[in-house]
Structure 1
Amino acid sequence: MEGRIIDVNGKKLYTEYNNSFKNKPTIVFLHDSLGSTQLWRDFPAKLAEATQCNTLGYDRLGYGKSFPMLTHERENNYMESESDLLNDILNELNINDVILFGHSDGGTIALITASKYPEKIKAILCEAGHIFVEDVTVKGVKDALEAYKTTNLPERLQKYHGDKVEMIVKAWTEIWLSDRFRTWNIEYLMKNITSPLLFIQGEADEYGTLDQVEKTISQVSGNAEKFIIPNIGHTPHKENPKLVLERSKEFIASVLNS
């Protein structure tokens, strides 16, 4: 698919938009804290084919083929800011009928967006998202930072992010490991979510416990389901793509047929 750079509020962002299915929703894929459009691999195309829905993927500022960040320093509400930017992207591309599929930070951004802009969001698939900070999350980020310092992780990331790798690793690890972020919590937003929700989580997720799932689905106002996968970690769509595709397809079909 042809990708292109769009300018949204002065931010130059790489997008891949496939809108070949007329009068069908667009599944918007929101990547994780070290991810990019490219790192979703063929998962979006397969889900598009299975559901006959359009797809939009984009690299957040600083990631993938988007332009670099101006600074690595993040405010506590950085994911709330990303949800506002996502709304502006949807306006720019004139997309009003949206299914969000977010992984990790992207899952959190999906939840926030659905709470703030419910009129656009038809459904949410939140994979391994967070609504508060846990000890296991902090340990996971510390372990990732150690891997960045001691393995070939920088070279592997460079393939997708070029010379922006150090900036995105700093941006992610510094905020999540800071004392000021320990109190970050968006549970208060959950009641504003009225769209149907599927929360996908690996039982062995190294970045979050099942408390993230239970506290999310118990507090949203719309219908909420969970899909917990045994022996799977933080990236179910990569660790067992067939299973996640099948469950996602079922969920989307149930939303579109309701």
Structure 2
Amino acid sequence: MPLLVTEAPNPGIIHYETYGRGRPVLFLHGWLGSWALWRPTIEALGQEYKTYSLDFWGFGESRGSGENSANLQSFQVDSFVEMVSQFMDKLGIPKAAVVGHSMGGTVSLNTGIKYPDKVVKACCIGSPINGNSLNLLLKLSGVPAFAFIVWRFPPLLRMFLRIYSRFMAKDGKKMAAMISQDVSQVTMESFFQSIGTLRETNLTDQLNKITMPTLGIYGKRDIIVNPNQRHLLAKGVPHAKVVYIEDAGHFPMLDTPDLFLETLRNFLKIK
């Protein structure tokens, strides 16, 4: 289990998994997720690329400086951008393609905006450009009082996740098992702080700073992030390739794995 220690102003421990050989590609998970979402993808791409799949602070096996303290900065979306930058510096990765799902895709785009010299390609999958596109329950999860109540009553949280899992992917049982495992590793601080800052994020006016090749993948059946976000991406980044998958929801890599992998592989091949 590779671990990496980051420095101030956001010290913490990053857990990551790496696989394959070739040009580097970073994979970033979404809210309540972990690196494990990307396991099939990195295994499929490992013969062509050196893949790195990270756990954000407060998720999976990573831990940030905000846990057990009043400092919650480690769990903000902007801090995740700095985490990616530090990760690349620590491992001596000067440039990489950055692929992110949901919140991770917002981080991917934001990293491309703030560190254009480090990001050679940016990909977002089911990601909010504007935090208003999140569904109501996710918005409420960013309210500390609501998050505290849900967190103090695990049966309520499990019921909420079990019901939602049925609609998030075609294989509801598999999705429920994956989310249950990932949520067991999430802290309350990262639970509400990350989604709270994602709700307040709006990259619309900054998209024109993205100059690298960009891919957006959105599923028509997404009930987590409104797929109309694809229009904001296409308008703000005219050179972006935007793919709209009729038969996919918030997790195209699970709902339509072959099409997803083909789309991503073709994008990564672009010189």
Structure 2: how far apart are the matches of 1:143 and 1:79?
17
Shift of 1:240: 1.3
Q: Give the alignment of 1:148-227 within 5 angstroms.
A: 148-150=157-159, 157=179, 159-160=181-182, 162=184, 164-172=186-194, 181=199, 184-220=201-237, 223-227=239-243
The amino acid that maps onto 2:205 is Y
Determine whether 1:105 maps to 2:103: yes
Corresponding residue number in structure 2 for 1:139: 136
In the TM superposition, 1:75-114 aligns within 5 A as 78-114=76-112
Pair 174,91 (structure 1): closer, same or farther in 2 beyond 3 Å: closer
CA RMSD of aligned residues (A): 2.9
Query: Counterpart amino acid of 2:12?
Result: K
Distance 2:35 2:70 in 1: 20
SS in 2 for 1:94: coil
Number of matched pairs: 240
Q: Deviations 1:176-209 (Å, cap 9, x if unpaired)? A: 6xxxx55x41212211100111100001111223
Once the two structures are superposed, the pairs formed by residues 121-140 of structure 1 within 5 Å of their partners are 121-134=119-132, 137-140=134-137
Give the SS at the match of 2:222: coil
Unmatched runs of 5 consecutive residues or more in structure 1? none
CA apart distance, 1:151: 5.2
In structure 1, C-alpha distance between the alignment counterparts of 2:226 and 2:58, rounded to whole Å: 28
List 4+ stretches of structure 1 deviating above 4 A. Answer: 71-75, 142-147, 151-158, 172-176
Going from structure 1 to structure 2, the CA distance change for 1:198 and 1:74 (only over 3 Å counts) comes to: same
Inter-partner Cα distance in structure 2 for 1:210 and 1:192: 22
TM-score computed with the length of structure 2 as normaliser: 0.77
Contact 1:73 1:171 in 2 (8 A): no
Whether the aligned pair in 1 keeps the contact of 2:27 and 2:99 (CA below 8 Å) is yes
User: Does 2:260 correspond to 1:244?
Assistant: yes
Give me the whole-angstrom Cα distance separating, in 1, the residues matched to 2:90 and 2:125.
26
> Deviations for 1:212-257, whole angstroms, at most 9, x for unmatched residues?
1111122126x2111100131111111111110011111112x13x
Partners in 2 of 1:175 and 1:48 — Cα distance? 33
State the AA in 1 paired with 2:217.
I
Q: Residue 59 and residue 124 in structure 1: after superposition, are their counterparts in 2 closer, same or farther (change >3 A)?
A: same
TM-score, scaled relative to structure 1: 0.81
Seen in structure 2, the aligned counterparts of structure 1 residues 235 and 73 have a Cα distance that, compared at 3 Å, is: farther
The 1:152/1:129 distance shift into structure 2, 3 A limit, reads closer
Are the aligned partners of 2:72 and 2:189 in contact in 1 as well (CA < 8 Å)? no
Is structure 2 residue 56 aligned with structure 1 residue 34? Answer: no
* Cα contact 1:114–1:193 (8 A) shared by 2: yes
Structure 2 residue 42 is matched with structure 1 residue 54? no
